Amino acid sequence: MQRYTTPAIVLHWLLAILIIGAFTMGLVMTDIPGLTPTKLKYYSWHKWAGVTVLGLAMLRLLWRLANHPPAYADAMPNWQRGAAHGLHWLLYLLMFAVPLSGYFYSLASGIPVVYFGVVELPVLIGPDPALKAVLKGTHYWLNMLLAALVGLHVLAAFKHLLVDRDGVMQRMLPRIFLSSRTSQE
């Protein structure tokens, strides 16, 4: 079976790590009571991760549009192909929508986003308490949807690995995992 290209694999796993990290940081930081230095630090890290996700998602999408992914396994039913295709495009959509909603939520709160504490991103909207409330909920629920779809994506990958044994998951695994698995067999 054909594999994804190395840039696609690297971007996939970098985005996975950053998305899981940013999501976890978001849960942790919002549970810290009050306004503490630790909470402020976590908010900054969360924003930096979000901006990085947005940038890498742009690269990933451009790469994806220029490079066709490998074909699915021949034995994979058409409904699974359609579901996988739809899920992938929803994940792409959310990789843009989640950080953008967070960015605009921050701006509506009157707090500029300063990437790594150095590069101030454009302030496209001013403080707006009503919009802030809408964007807070939007950002939260988009994150919950992204988490659910990532979970579904992971479950489907393990189904292909452990039940179907059709090589679909191996298309996206770094070669280091494949070579160690092959040498053990």
Domain that holds residue 115: 6-72+79-184
Q: How far apart are CA 53 and CA 55, in angstroms?
A: 6
Number of domains in the chain: 1
Position 61 in a domain? yes
Q: Does any domain span residue 114?
A: yes
Average pLDDT, the chain: 93
What's residue 64's pLDDT?
94
Residue 1: pLDDT over 80:
no
Taking only the tens place, the pLDDT of each residue in 63-93 is 999 999 998 888 889 999 999 999 999 999 9
Is 1 among the domain residues? no
Give me the pLDDT at residue 178, please.
Answer: 72
Classify residue 86: in a domain, yes or no: yes
The structure's pTM equals: 0.90
Q: Is residue 22 over pLDDT 70?
A: yes
Q: What is the 3-state secondary structure (H, E, C) of the chain?
A: CCCCCHHHHHHHHHHHHHHHHHHHHHHHHHHCCCCCHHHHHHHHHHHHHHHHHHHHHHHHHHHHHHCCCCCCCCCCCHHHHHHHHHHHHHHHHHHHHHHHHHHHHHHHCCCCCEECCCEECCCCCCCCHHHHHHHHHHHHHHHHHHHHHHHHHHHHHHHHHHHHCCCCHHHCCCHHHHHHHHHHC
CATH of the domain at 49: 1.20.950
